[in-house]
Structure 1
Amino acid sequence: MAPQCTSSTPEFDSPPLNLLRYPILPLLLSADDTSSANLPFPKHQAKYHKELEVAIDAVDRACRLCVDVKKSLFSSKEKIVEKNDQTPVTIADFGVQALISLELSKLFPSIPLVAEEDSHFVRANNLVSAVVSEVKSKASIADNELSDADVLEAIDRGGKDAYAFCNKPATYWVLDPIDGTRGFLKGGEGLYVVGLALVVDNEIVLGVMGCPNWPGDLSNQSTGTVMVSHIGCGTWTKGLQNISGKVSGDWTRCFVDASVLVSKARFCIQESQTWETLPLSDFFAAKTVSDDLEHNDIILVPTCHGSLCKYMMVASGRTAVFLLRDKTERTIKAWDHAVGVICVHEAGGKVTDWEGDEINLEEDQSERRLIFPAGGVIASNGNLHNHLLEMLSSASPAL
């Protein structure tokens, strides 16, 4: 049965954006400096603080699920399957989607979820018991209150047929359970991201990204990072896990790279693309080290699979630009970009398509699952954005 058209948009005003230029130095904020140990800023400054607190907790639980699954992944081959498009998927992908869906629906049952997976593969590949076991171990709901059907239903709550938006403004969550599954499968070195955003009337108002093996602070045995953003409140990070498995340490405010020259700026691109296939290769050569840069060289930073860790690179100032070229044979999914957009914006950067238009999450009017950025996506530190757009516009098409 097809989902019926309903509206889930509450009547509230969005807080004003902070239009001030951000300083260069990072700001450290301990839990004692805020009204909540879970947030990097006082609650009264964040209109959606309740949603953000729940999102942070849900992503934290999901990242711990990923870590536990990854430890046992290669000892149980049935935990990895392949989707119709030959992309790998694991019980962690399904477990994360179920877990976050369950945690969000406890307090916000009327807000729809747009997510990558559905339960078909879980059922077809005899993964139900494995997924349910992982979800029960991390959910805040008691084990005896969660049935197999509950977990499968939680996965399908984010599936393609779960909700019809019917061309109306809406409030909804956007989830990528694991962005960069190929990185997840690489072992200790591969980066991957759990990404969650809340959209209100086509505006992304908050986002949380968890990267379980982002390089951390060895002094407190931490590993991984959680990055959070709230409209008007900036982008912040803290260590994701210590030996107890809980988020710990101080919040650090993120600011984009301060580069003002495209030459010698640090770039990252999609792993499936090469620099030579991008229009900017008409102007600059790419090198992976900065020691021997010449006048028309840029630094191409090796990154990871998936898009979201590249947004993290830009928002944290590790790179100045993330460039993604659209391809006619590939669809661009909303969950690969939504949370990254707000994290870059709130860190002082800018995200548009190659024509300079903002990413429109409502173009896929009925499902909100696809985006259609003209030419591709460019995320930058803001300083370089207009110059890059001019070069993209004037460059000859790369074959």
Structure 2
Amino acid sequence: MPPLLRLSLPPHRLLLVVGRRRRRLESPPPTPRHYRVCVRAAAAEAADASVSVSVSVSVEEAHGLPFPPERAAYHRELAAAAAAVERACRLCVDVRRTLLSGDKKILEKNDQTPVTVADFGVQALISLELQRSFPTIPLVAEEDSASVRSNNVLVESISSAVADNVSHVDSSLTHDEVLRAIDRGGKDVVSSSTYWVLDPIDGTQGFLRGDDTLYLVGLALLVNGKAVVGVMGCPNWANDTIADGKVGSSSSPLDRGILTVAHVGCGTWSRRLSMVQLPMVQDTWNRCLVDSCPDIHKARFCLSDNQTWNMIPLSVLFNSTMDESNHRDENEILISYVHSGSLCKYLTVASGRASVFVLKARTKTLKSWDHAVGVICVEEAGGQVSDWSGKPLDLAADLTARRDICPWGGILITNGVLHDELVEMISANHK
């Protein structure tokens, strides 16, 4: 058996293709087996140029991230976050299967938005997973357990969902341990400059629908006000996902699901979600890149389904259309509505399926968990994020609870090429 080789190829240029092999859960971890893999290094001067290098890698290495630890200061944190989010997505899928069987799994939060077993279960699960590996890093998240503590049936459902998906349980999880895990992301003062920001389910309305509307789990690590690590898990994402926020009719459930990771300086990458809890070699990581559209009138704009084109300052300068089959002149912009949460729109831009996402802020403050992971995923994919004045989002604006951000006017997410021109237009026409 030849020794393992460490590659010195530059980051973001590796594509691992490894065969799947299953291992029985009840057996102890075997001695690492080795597989032949093909590594393609794309030449910097030619996108289609490649070389093939045959090396041996262990199963454990194939489970890893698409870039080596020595090139990523937060490699361990990202690996743990990706594993936790993937487990959380399995929890979401499990809960969603039974969601419509009864109304006891649905509540109304104080702001009248629906919340489910999955919201609380995801927060508890990720809290437990991260606390095991990084007990000193606090968590900032959307939910707290106050609204569920008096509902024994709901607490039992949440605890059961968490126990079915948590990675290691030395003894049975108690209800109190699950509730404390939820509250670890509560509203306490966060004095540390390093902390996690979690949106348990972005697009809860979509999660509750009986169709394939997009929703995702979003997790970011912030250090000194900057997102340095980000993970998005989107169970309904498919190769033929279109801009209306639904998967195509030709997509089977086995084709759905994407896990997207980003690390500062290492790019944004994605692979298919593994919805089975068997340890196996994962699918190939693919680099995510924003599109390169240089013309505003040729770009696809993404809007929230609760906002209209005339709410955006650009409506003073451009008409809009949702019909991409018609020829558009320079005074008309193609828009599409993504029926899901804000982070799904960030993912749409980061993956190159839309050039621009424009969001009008209806209040002076927005929640950090709706944007933190989206910022790093878009920026590491080559895009740009700012408020309507062109200033980067201040993710550390809330110095106590770390929950609020205060963008001027709204948020602009673009492929980068169009950013400065759009900022100038928006800021000049925003009242």
TM-score, normalising length: structure 1: 0.88
Q: Which residue does 1:160 correspond to in 2?
A: 187
Q: How does 1:151-190 map to 2 (within 5 A)?
A: 151-161=178-188, 163-165=189-191, 170-190=193-213
Q: 1:52 to 1:133 in 2, by over 3 A?
A: same
Identify the residue that residue 196 of structure 1 maps to in structure 2.
219
* Letter matched to residue 326 of structure 2: D
Q: Does 1:70 align with 2:96?
A: yes
Amino acid at match of 1:338: A
| Mapped partners of 2:376, 2:66: distance in 1 | 16
> Following the alignment from structure 2 to structure 1, what is the Cα–Cα distance between the partners of residues 387 and 337?
23
Do the aligned partners of 2:398 and 2:405 also contact (CA within 8 Å) in 1? yes
For 1:241 and 1:230, the matched residues in 2 are separated by 21
Q: Does 1:146 align with 2:146?
A: no
Structure 2: how far apart are the matches of 1:191 and 1:184? 7
The 2-side partners of 1:89 and 1:315 are apart by 27
> 1:170-202 CA distances to partner (integer Å, 9 max, x unpaired)?
000000000000000112321101000000111
Residue 147 of structure 1, CA deviation: 1.2
How far apart in 1 are the matches of 2:343 and 2:199? 9
Residues 1:363 and 2:389 aligned together:
no
Q: Which residue of 2 aligns with 1:237?
A: 270
> In 2, Cα distance between the equivalents of 1:130 and 1:292?
50
1:87 and 1:241 mapped to 2: Cα distance?
Answer: 29
Look up the match of 2:357: 322
5 Å-filtered alignment, 1:90-109, equals 90-109=116-135
**Residues 196, 207 of structure 1: 8 Å contact kept:** yes
3-state secondary structure, aligned to 2:148: helix
Q: Is the 8 A contact 2:121 2:158 kept in 1?
A: yes
Q: Give the drift of 1:276.
A: 1.4
| d(CA) in 2 for partners of 1:376, 1:40 | 34
- The whole-number CA distance in structure 2 between the counterparts of 1:243 and 1:365 is 40
Aligned residue in 1 for 2:298: 264
Distance 2:201 2:397 in 1: 24
CA–CA distance in 1 between the matches of 2:239 and 2:70? 30
CA distance in 2, matches of 1:219, 1:63: 17
Measured on the aligned residues, the alpha-carbon RMSD in Å equals: 2.2
Q: Partner residue of 1:3?
A: none
Deviates more, 1:95-104 or 1:269-278: 269-278
Match of 1:227 in 2: 260
Structure 1: stretches of 5+ with no match in the other structure: 1-17
1:264-314, Cα deviation, whole Å (9 max, x unpaired): 211111221111111111111222222113211211123122100000000
Higher deviation after alignment, 204-213 or 233-242: 233-242
2:72 to 29, 42, 46: 46
Contact 2:14 / 2:66 at 8 angstroms: preserved in 1?
no
| 1:92-116 deviation line (CA, Å, top 9, x unaligned) | 0000000000000001000000000
Larger Rg: 2
* Map of 2:232 onto structure 1: 209
Secondary structure, aligned partner of 2:327: coil
Change over 3 Å in CA distance of 1:269–1:94 after alignment to 2: same
Q: Are 1:131 and 2:118 counterparts?
A: no
- Aligned AA (1:383): V
Aligned equivalents of 2:308, 2:203: Cα separation in 1: 18
Structure 2 alignment gaps of length 5 or more: 1-9, 19-36, 40-56, 241-250
Asked if structure 1 preserves the Cα contact closer than 8 Å seen for 2:262 and 2:268, the reply is yes
Q: In 1, distance between residues paired with 2:425 and 2:145? A: 44
Q: CA, structure 1 residues 125+238, in 2 after alignment: closer, same or farther (shift >3 Å)?
A: same
On the 8 A contact 2:198/2:220 being kept in 1, the answer is yes
The answer on whether the counterparts of 1:216 and 1:239 sit within 8 Å (CA) in structure 2 is no
Distance 1:365 1:290 in 2: 44
Cα drift, residue 164 of structure 1: 3.3
2:326 aligned with 1:289: no
Alpha-carbon contact 1:264-1:293 (below 8 Å) kept: no
Query: What's the offset of the Cα at 1:239?
Result: 0.6
Q: Report the Cα distance in structure 2 between the residues aligned to 1:271 and 1:129, rounded to whole angstroms.
A: 34
Letter in structure 1 aligned against 2:261: V
CA–CA distance in structure 2, aligned partners of residues 29 and 282 of structure 1: 48
CA distance in 2, matches of 1:227, 1:350: 17
Counterpart residue identity of residue 77, structure 1: D
Cα displacement string for residues 65-110 of structure 1 (whole angstroms, at most 9, x for unaligned residues): 0000000001021100001111110010000000000000001000
The correspondence for 1:379, drawn from 393, 396, 413, is 413
Moved more, 240-249 or 36-45: 240-249
Matched with 2:49 is none
**Partner in structure 1 of residue 108 of structure 2:** 82
Q: Which amino acid in 2 is paired with 1:279?
A: P
Q: Give a deviation string over 1:201-223, Cα, whole Å, max 9, x none.
A: 11110100000011148699331
Paired residue type of 2:308: T
The answer to whether the 8 A contact 1:349-1:381 is kept is yes
The SS at the match of 2:143 is: coil
Whole-angstrom CA distance in 1 between matches of 2:234 and 2:259:
6
Aligned partners of 1:115 and 1:141: how far apart in 2? 22
Name the amino acid aligned to 2:313.
P
Other structure's SS at 1:175 match: strand
Counterpart in 1 of 2:243?
none
Instruction: Give the whole-Å Cα distance in 1 for the aligned partners of 2:277 and 2:130.
Output: 24
Q: Secondary structure at the match of 2:352?
A: coil
Partner of residue 114 from structure 1, selected from 108, 126, 140: 140
Q: Confirm or deny: 8 A CA contact 2:89 2:233 kept in the other structure.
A: yes
CA–CA distance in 1 between the matches of 2:158 and 2:370? 23
Q: Percent same amino acid at aligned positions?
A: 53
CA contact (8 A) 2:409 2:430 kept: no
Whether the 8 Å contact between 2:300 and 2:336 is mirrored in structure 1 is yes
